[in-house]
Amino acid sequence: MKKFLFCLSLVIASLPLKAQIYNDNMAAYYNNYTLPKGLKIKTNLPFTNDTHMRTIMLEGYVFGSAQLIDLKISYYIYKDRIYSSNISSSGAYTPPI
């Protein structure tokens, strides 16, 4: 019985465990110039009334000045309108919004 439990614990310990399952690289965009009118990001998030506050995280890097971009956008949809939209930046560079 001890051998069985030992073998079982080895099998369980060898399995990768994840608290959340998400795709870390959903999209990538690269260019060598400044976008004068910005960049439109299209997602498959439904625009429906619900009880969830959505959060979109954008991360990047400014090569010319060696600064990180870290933006978090959150919003809530109620009666077919966006409410409580908010954006925060914790990176060294904050692009104009």
pLDDT tens digits, 41-52: 777 878 888 778
Amino acid 22: pLDDT: 53
pLDDT of residue 28: 66
Please give the pLDDT value at position 27: 64
pLDDT along the chain (97 residues), means of 10: 74 61 60 72 80 84 86 88 90 83
Q: Are 87 and 72 in contact (CB under 8 A)?
A: yes
The b/e string for 52-76 (b: 16+ C-beta within 10 A; e otherwise) is: eebeeebebeeeeeeeebbbeeeeb
Instruction: Tell me the torsion sign for CA atoms 93, 61, 24, 76.
Output: positive
Q: Rounded to whole angstroms, how far apart are CA atoms 33 and 52?
A: 36
Q: In this predicted structure, what is the pLDDT of residue 29?
A: 66
Q: Please give the pLDDT value at position 26.
A: 62
